Structure 1
Amino acid sequence: MQRKASETIVGNGKNMVEGFSTGMMGDIEKSIMKKAELFDSSIGRYMMRAMLACFYLTLGTGIAVGLADFTEQLAPGWGKIGYSFMFTWSLVMIIYLNAELGTSNMMYMTTAVHRKILPWKKALAILGTCILFNAVGAVVISWVLSYTGVFHQVSTDHFLVTAVAGKLAKAPLQIFVEGIFANMIVNIAFYVTMRMKDDAGKVLAIVFLIFIFAFLGFEHVIANFSSFSLAFFASGGHVPGMTVGAVVTNIVLATLGNYVGGGLVMGLNYSWLNNGKTSYVD
């Protein structure tokens, strides 16, 4: 018999959970309460975990575009494969080092509201803070990386610059739709790792799943924080098509698409699927 994490009581300033659902949804509910507890007890630590997510993501982006640029010079057309493979390790670092990623929190916080674990204002505050400090982390680490030898004054034909220019040239509808698929894939990776016990299996699952969205070039707003910032600082601001309007359009539409994919299709949908009275639960 499932027990709902929404059956909560308040004591000593902390939310104490009386009972959790079983299986994957139980793990999600526990994670939600852990995030809320950290947010309430030490918002500074929560902000740092959000910044760390983009520290790891930007490092992953850096090695991915570096390998892609090198591979393109040796074998034109193969750079994208190298990029996609190395980029996947960003999520491995984020998951194993317990960093706070805005796009996965779209799933967590939507589930929290649907299952009445958190009020919507609290869930929105956690999600908004996470996304904001993901962006701060991306800007800071990208600026620092731009002073390293590899990313000091990269040329306009570097894989990083051309990839970002391509993102900024996409049509609005394409950005939105690709945002949906990008965050579906990211949250599928989170769901799959919850169901697995072996670390090697978890890492392989993350690598193969994230490879899909990286290779297909889908739009992930947090990843774009990293790639846009790194391209701007590394090129000295010389990214074709990088205007305030183009960047804002991409960020807004990617965020909306990511929320539909991660928050609604994966978060709300699976919360509803596992809220019935049957034994068919995840």
Structure 2
Amino acid sequence: MEQKYQGAAMTTVDKSALKKSHLFETSQVKYFIRCMLAGMFLTLGTSIAVMVAEKAEHMLPGSGKFFYSFMFAWSLVMINYMNTELGTSNMMYMTAAIYRKVLAPKRALAILFACILFNLIGGTIASFIMSFTNIFQDLPAEHFLFHAVEGKLLKTPIQMVAEGIFANVIVNTTVFVSAHMKDDAGKLFSTIFIIFIFAFLGFEHVIANFSSFSLAFFAFGGALPGMTVGSVLTNWFFAMIGNYIGGGLIIGLLYAWMNKDSEVYVD
């Protein structure tokens, strides 16, 4: 059960955390499915993004990354509007909920762990099925998808952590901005153009990497050059650390602290 709320005023994040906890308590299966759907939408967004990027590179060399970033941003639009559960945004929600005593630590950590796990399961299953579609048959070895994943696996741990920090600062900024928009048009444009920042800069988002790595593996017919169990787990581990620092501490904990004991200035 949720702990008795002790804050000065309920924030948007507090209310969302309680909503997530209620679903987790009343129907874990439904919560798990929402997490898996988030992985599916990331796979769909990644799929269209890499295909558009590949076409763009042939028409206008050097433009692939721009078009990839624009199309990938629609993943978050789908995730937000379809009310699914994303592990990187829950890093913010659960950390803030623990600090503000909205949820007990055990409950918050269980929700976060389950969300990340089922994001992985959903993204992997969706990627496997996607690999059987016509457009993913016989992709050349130099395809944009494979090139992008190989580049991620070559990064150093400090690069992964640093990029993971900024990736989740951006993702959770999108959550905040979208929540304050009064109309769907504002939410749509803010999501697309803010997510574009981290996608274009190539920052590391562990949940998105669940999808892109799985999609590359299945579409390639096996491991890419440099893709080993160790290299994949290393990327996921350090990206997750960076994502937690950015989303859980810099956005979640910092804003929870700034809202502490405040009756007027409440985010």
- Identify whether the pair has TM-score above 0.5, normalized to the shorter chain: yes
Query: What is the alpha-carbon distance in structure 1 between the residues aligned to residue 176 and residue 123 of structure 2?
Result: 25
Q: Deviations over 1:152-185 (max 9, x none)?
A: 2322100000000000000110001000000000
Task: Tell me if the contact between 2:127 and 2:211 (Cα under 8 Å) persists in the aligned partners.
Answer: yes
2:121 matched residue in structure 1: 136
CA distance in 1 between counterparts of 2:8 and 2:218 reads: 46
Root mean square deviation of aligned Cα:
1.5
Counterpart-to-counterpart distance in 2, 1:236 and 1:170: 23
Rounded to whole Å, the distance in 1 between the matches of 2:227 and 2:141 is: 12
The share of aligned pairs that are identical, in percent, is 57
Q: 2:142 aligns with which of 157, 164, 167?
A: 157
Number of the residue aligned with 1:210:
195
Alignment check: 8 A CA contact 1:153 1:236 kept: no
Residue matched to 1:14: none
- Tell me whether 1:192 sits opposite 2:177 in the alignment: yes
The partner residue of 1:272 within 253, 257, 262 is 257
Instruction: Decide whether the 8 Å contact of 1:60 with 1:90 is kept in 2.
Output: yes
Q: Structure 1: how far apart are the matches of 2:35 and 2:126?
A: 13
Report the CA distance between 1:257 and its aligned residue: 0.4
Paired residues of 2:3 and 2:104 also in contact (CA < 8 A): no
Aligned residue type for 1:252: F
What's the counterpart of residue 50 of structure 1? 35
**Take 1:215 and 1:160, find their aligned partners in 2: how far apart are those partners?**
14
Structure 1 moving runs of 4+ over 4 Å: none
Superposed CA offset, 1:117-176 (max 9, x none): 111111110000000000000110000000001112322100000000000000110001
Q: Which structure dedicates a bigger proportion of its chain to helix?
A: 2
Match of 1:13 in 2: none
Assess if the C-alpha contact under 8 Å between 2:9 and 2:262 holds in 1: no
Deviation at 1:280, TM superposition (A): 3.0
Contact 2:35 2:85 in 1 (8 A): yes
1:176-231 CA-to-partner distances (Å, cap 9, x unmatched) read 10000000000000000111111100110001100000000000000000000000
Aligned match for 1:28, one of 3, 10, 13? 13
How many residue pairs get aligned? The number is: 266
Q: Distance in 2 between matches of 1:216 and 1:81?
A: 10
Question: Pairwise mapping of residues 237-256 of structure 1 onto structure 2 (< 5 A)?
Answer: 237-256=222-241
CA distance in 2 between partners of 1:198 and 1:96 (Å): 13
> What 5-or-longer segments of structure 2 have no aligned partner?
none
Cα pair 1:7 1:19 within 8 Å, conserved: no
CA contact 1:6–1:115 (8 Å) conserved in 2: no
The residue identity in structure 2 corresponding to 1:268 is L
Query: Which deviations, in whole Å up to 9, do the C-alpha atoms of 1:23-71 show, x marking residues without a partner?
Result: xx2x211111111111111100000000000111100000000000011
Q: TM-score, normalised by structure 2?
A: 0.96
User: Equivalent residues in 2 for 1:94-243 (5 A)?
Assistant: 94-243=79-228
TM-superposed deviation, 1:7: 3.6
CA contact (8 A) 1:20 1:30 kept: no
Give TM-score scaled by structure 1 length.
Answer: 0.91
- Matched residues in 2 for 1:155 and 1:230: separation? 14
- Amino acid aligned to 1:204: F
Aligned residue for 1:99, secondary structure, equals coil
Alpha-carbon contact 1:156-1:238 (below 8 Å) kept: no
Gaps of 5+ in 1: 9-17
Q: Look up the SS of the partner of 2:134 in the other structure.
A: coil
SS at match of 1:242: coil
What is the deviation of 1:277? 3.6
Residue identity opposite 1:126 in structure 2: I
Matched residues in 2 for 1:197 and 1:55: separation?
Answer: 28
Deviation at 1:21, TM superposition (A): 2.6
